[in-house]
A = this chain, B = another copy of it.
């Protein structure tokens, strides 16, 4: 039956009604528009028989709504982002929305470029899941795109005038470092993320704050990383050469933490006996390392869902808003008390701060 493109004109002809009637029947909102049952039936029959499918581009052009949203991420192959996307997809597809994705590899230029292209599609909404890249050209693009009426929602802290799903990066980092302190660790290294990424910076701030609260600011040790598995692997030799009594590593994300685990195994350092390791994010792989990784759980799918729901809300006329998702600790096998015979006691004051 259906050969080539079938348009409403064909349906109109086949069912003996006008174009507008066909359009009305197909518009969906049954209650709103009055149509005789007979007409309706005939149109639907023709649609079925000819295998008609509406041309979304045409619909978009005239209605201004494309039923599509775009998601910008650093890398879709990173489980952190693919989990978020899955959450987005789940709520999008329930409303028959299509999802466009774009990996920008943390390149501001590509981010701006992608943003512009997606907006000119035009998509109805754009979710910036790429995580707070602080770059001027990106913010310029965002502002310019906002004027066209697209809804934009950012995930993680942004200096942008858009709705935000805020992840408690700083607080989560503070909590997990406190967990290490509670276990008795005093020399905790921090493996940092890429510069100019608010997500990474906030986690680092949480680390520093936890140490400061415990009066241990002088014990800070920050090793530069970039969120990649390899950064984790390579950090180990660097760390071991430091000639400092490090007993725990806090990697700014799970991928690096997993790299650390591998690096430590290679170096013959037992985890958690000789070294505790923690990450951030709780990507699925964190459960299957050996030992399983202690980390900060971000409800990644939920984050995606919230972002998408916020897009829909704004599309329905609501104003922008800042929501936040709570993180929690997933205490697993990669952390244990440090290997010291006589653990340094905390001063009373410090204990109070840490436990609060």
> Taking the nearest CB of chain B, how far is it from the CB of A109, in angstroms?
12
A60 to B61, CA, bound (A): 10
Copies of this chain present in the complex amount to 2
A289 neighbours in B (Cβ, 8 Å): 288-290
- A98 near B79 with CB under 8 A, answer no
A57 at the interface (CB under 8 A from B): yes
Which of B58, B60, B83, B290 is A290 in contact with, Cβ under 8 Å?
Answer: B290
Which of B89, B100, B290 is A68 in contact with, Cβ under 8 Å?
Answer: B100
Q: Size band of the A side of the interface? A: 35 or more
Beta-carbon contacts under 8 Å, A255-274 to B: 258-259, 261-262, 265
A252 neighbours in B (Cβ, 8 Å): none
- A147 near B2 with CB under 8 A, answer yes
Which of chain B's residues has its CB closest to A75's CB? Answer: B86
A68 to B70, CA, bound (A): 12
A287 at the interface (CB under 8 A from B): yes
Beta-carbon contacts under 8 Å, A83-128 to B: 83, 85-86, 89, 93, 96, 98-103, 116-122
A100 to B82, CA, bound (A): 14
- Which 3 A-B residue pairings sit nearest by Cβ, starting from the closest? A290-B290, A53-B120, A57-B60
